[in-house]
């Protein structure tokens, strides 16, 4: 079936999480409210996201983005992707699973068991965003804890393949390009391949 050229593309949960994290860390670093933030996508494009929420205290920054999946029938369309950032004593970016983000429990996925279901490309996007802000603020010796959460994510995950993949109690933070292409078979193909990888890893 040919895809209509009028269908609107959207953004992945990984891109939304990165935009939210950028807003949260900027708020924490500079102790002020931000209404939007711009991030680079893996495909080289820069995109500006409107921040749904943004708040800060001396100890933490919070921000969220409402995911727009475009015209794709994505179960996470209009989900709120939230980020909370705090300082950490050890330099590096430390990922924490918040409410509604899945927990990886089986081998065979690109993220090891026990980790939040934040895939490698989103992790790289999040890390690079944090490093860029810290470098600009001359805070490169500081560590940052990034907690991603998705309200109602556990319910949304029941409409995905996550339970079969051993990803429990939430959705995955996904995306390789940052863009959701409407009615693309790429996401379905990736899900099938992950099912096979998990099955092989379980013997």
**For residue 107, pLDDT beyond 80:** yes
pLDDT at site 5: 63
* 186 pLDDT tier (thresholds 50, 70, 90): confident
pLDDT at site 185: 83
d(CA 122, CA 120): 6
143-149 and 92-97 beta bridge pairing:
parallel
Classify residue 181 as exposed, middle or buried by CB count within 10 Å of its CB (0-12, 13-18, 19+). Answer: middle
**For residue 1, pLDDT beyond 50:** no
**What are the DSSP E strand ranges found in 21-137?**
36-40, 46-50, 53-56, 60-66, 80-88, 92-97, 103-104
**For residue 90, pLDDT beyond 80:** yes
pTM of the predicted protein model: 0.93
Q: When comparing pLDDT for 186 and 163, which is higher?
A: 163
d(CA 72, CA 78): 12
129-165 pLDDT, tens digit each: 999 999 999 999 999 999 999 999 999 999 999 999 9
What are the contacts of 194-203 at 24+ separation with CB within 8 A? 194/108, 194/109, 194/161, 194/165, 195/161, 195/164, 195/165, 197/108, 197/109, 198/106, 198/107, 198/108, 198/109, 198/165, 198/166, 199/108, 200/108, 201/106, 201/107, 201/108, 202/106, 202/107, 202/108
**Interaxial angle between packed helices 120-136 and 13-30, expressed in degrees from 0 to 180 and rounded to the nearest 10:** 20
């Amino acid at each position: 079936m040919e895809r209509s050229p009028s269908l609107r593309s959207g953004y992945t949960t990984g891109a939304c999480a990165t935009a939210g994290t950028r807003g949260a860390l900027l708020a924490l670093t500079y102790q002020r409210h931000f209404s939007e933030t711009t991030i680079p996508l893996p495909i080289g494009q820069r995109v500006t996201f409107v921040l749904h929420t943004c708040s800060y205290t001396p100890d933490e920054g919070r921000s969220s983005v409402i995911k727009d999946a475009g015209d794709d029938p994505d179960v996470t369309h209009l989900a709120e992707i939230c980020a909370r950032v705090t300082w950490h004593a050890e330099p590096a970016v430390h990922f924490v699973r918040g409410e509604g983000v899945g927990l990886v429990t089986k081998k065979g996925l690109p993220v090891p068991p026990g980790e939040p279901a934040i895939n490698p490309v989103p992790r790289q996007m999040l890390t690079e965003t944090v490093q860029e802000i810290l470098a600009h603020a001359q805070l490169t010796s500081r560590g940052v804890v990034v907690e991603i959460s998705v309200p109602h994510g556990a319910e949304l995950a029941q409409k995905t393949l996550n339970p079969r993949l051993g990803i429990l109690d939430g959705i995955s933070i996904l995306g390789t390009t940052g863009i959701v292409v409407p009615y693309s078979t790429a996401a379905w193909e990736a899900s099938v391949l992950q099912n096979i990888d998990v099955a092989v890893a379980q013997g």
